[in-house]
Amino acid sequence: MNNQQIERLRSKINSFYQISNSSFDMIASITSLQQINKNNVFVEQGSVSRYFSYLDSGYMISYISNIEGKIYNKNIFSPDDWVGFYNIKHPTVSF
């Protein structure tokens, strides 16, 4: 990640909760940049993402499809968004 991207991430985190520089440095040390090209799938339907994702640039659509292949859009993510969805009534992961 370049310095601009790191500072945008720091600003986004601090908009929710002010964290210390050392705490942010720990987050930055385990953060990696992944480029996803247009029409590529980020997480397959039915899979559980093991990562917390932040959209630095571009747009993403979250969708599901039924058994007939009909697509239903769930969300549109734009730059500076956290990417993902958690439904408290129907969690993706069960214990």
Query: What confidence tens digit (pLDDT) does each residue in 42-85 have?
Result: 877 777 777 778 888 999 888 888 889 898 888 888 998 888 65
**CA–CA dist 29, 23 (Å, integer):** 10
| Full-model pTM | 0.66
Per this entry, what is the length of the chain? Answer: 95
Phi and psi at residue 54, in whole multiples of 5°?
-125, 130
In the block, which residue shows the tokens 């956290």?
82
| Residue 37 half-sphere exposure toward CB, CA atoms < 13 A | 0
Do residues 5 and 12 make contact, with C-beta atoms less than 8 angstroms apart? no
